[in-house]
Amino acid sequence: MKKNLLSRILCFLTVIALSLAMPTNAVAQTRDEIIHSSYFVAFGRYANAGELAYWRQNVGNRDIKQMVQNHKQYLASNQSEREQAVKRSFNDAFGWNPGSDELRQWSAKGQTYAEMMNYHINQWLNVYSDRKAHVIKQSYYKVFNRTADANELRYWMSQPTCSFVQLVAMHTTWKQQNQRTSKMGRMNPNIRDNGVSTAALSSGAAAGVVAAGGMNLISPSGGQVVAAGGLNVIAPGGGN
């Protein structure tokens, strides 16, 4: 009995020690990742400083999917934000801006960035092989300053379809290792080059992004890394 009591006391003391050892910002980091991940799914960018400060006080018990649903309601009421999301989806999926008609049509749909990316990849690049080939060639121009040769093009055409920014991120990862070409593989999580930025998600956040409709936003080659054009996945201060 004394032995059991001693074991319980030791267990209790261990729990207290672990709780005291945890960083004071552990909860804030989890909250920030929910906020940033939801913004990326909805808008194709991370939250800015003002948005982050607001949601730190108001996120409550919302998960990523619930936050995205809230953002989608905001998209419906804000034309400028819708148009920016459309432009990001075209640039990130294809490497070019939408035309004026495309911008108007897609903005009217009121879809999230992730919903548009899913369409661009599954219903466009996966369907039209010439478009997929063009995006592959464009990605080689962006990183290697040349078009993909016949063997490289054949290889990438046989791989799961990637967005333009995912291809650029993978090519950049290989180029950083002094390679002259690339293969399907991991993306470095801290790329700030070739007009692309990348960031790694925790396993929980990655699952939340998928549940919120962002399957095509996560690297197809593993690593739980997301990529976007410009600096759209860099949090204020570079913390994410």
DSSP-assigned beta bridge partners for residue 200: 225
The answer as to whether 4 is a domain residue is: no
How high does pLDDT run on average in the chain?
88
Give me the number of domains the chain comprises. 1
3-state secondary structure 32-75: HHHHHHHHHHHHCCCCCHHHHHHHHHHCCCCCHHHHHHHHHHHH
How much of the chain exceeds pLDDT 70, in percent?
A: 86
Q: 3-class SS at 148?
A: coil
Is there a domain that residue 57 lies in? Answer: yes
C-alpha 187: how far from chain center:
12
Does 7 fall in a domain?
no
8-state DSSP, 146: S
User: Which range marks the domain in which residue 221 is found?
Assistant: 26-238
In a domain, residue 10? The reply is: no
Give a yes or no: residue 21 inside a domain: no
Tell me, yes or no, whether 20 lies in a domain. no
pTM: 0.86
User: Which tens digit of pLDDT belongs to each residue from 10-46?
Assistant: 433 333 333 333 333 333 348 999 999 999 999 999 9
65 falls within a domain: yes
- Cα–Cα distance for residue pair 166/139, rounded to 1 Å: 9
- 37, 235 in Cβ contact below 8 A? no
Whether 215 is in a domain gets the answer yes
Q: What is the pLDDT of residues 114-171, one digit of tens each?
A: 999 999 999 999 999 999 999 999 999 999 999 999 999 999 999 999 999 999 999 9
